[in-house]
Amino acid sequence: MPVYGVGHFFGDHLLSWCGIDHYELNPSWISSLNSWIKSHIGLSGISFWGFMIGGNILGIALSIICYPMIKRMLMAIKRRGKERVLQTVVQSKRAVKKLKDKAKPLLNRVKRQVKKHENYNAK
């Protein structure tokens, strides 16, 4: 709600500053909305064009300002992710090598048993 309020406030002041009477350019349904809001909340002076223009101009301005910061942040996250993946690959290679070294004696013992079994069956 505060974002919409700031957008309306900005658009309202911008159009007033330019000398445009944007309340007369409101669609008819905004007039009925204004009367309903005034009777229930006590707030008056809602302008469709003030809301639309202010919100869009602020949105575009903030996106232009925030884009470089967000891009830099995402690139840092991507770079950190690549570094973590490389660390994981290195750790995995070490783990595979250790497992292979531990498994060598067991594989040799299995090979000897298979050879013994083949020699026994060959007789």
The per-residue pLDDT for range 47-104, each reduced to its tens digit, is: 777 778 888 888 899 999 999 999 999 999 888 888 888 888 888 888 888 888 888 8
Distance between CA atoms of 56 and 52, rounded to whole angstroms?
Answer: 6
pLDDT digits (tens, 9 = 90+) for 22-50: 767 777 777 777 777 777 777 667 777 77
Residue type for position 112: R
Per the model's pLDDT, the better-predicted residue between 9 and 30 turns out to be: 9
Q: What is the pLDDT of residue 15?
A: 79
Model pLDDT, residue 65 = 93
Task: Tell me the whole-structure pTM to 2 decimals.
Answer: 0.50
Q: How far, in Å, CA of 3 to CA of 43, rounded? A: 17
What does the mean pLDDT of the chain come to? 82
Give Cα separations from 11 to 6, 17, 32, 36 (angstroms).
8, 10, 21, 22
Q: Return the pLDDT at 123.
A: 63
Whether pLDDT at 4 is above 80:
no
- DSSP designation for 26: S
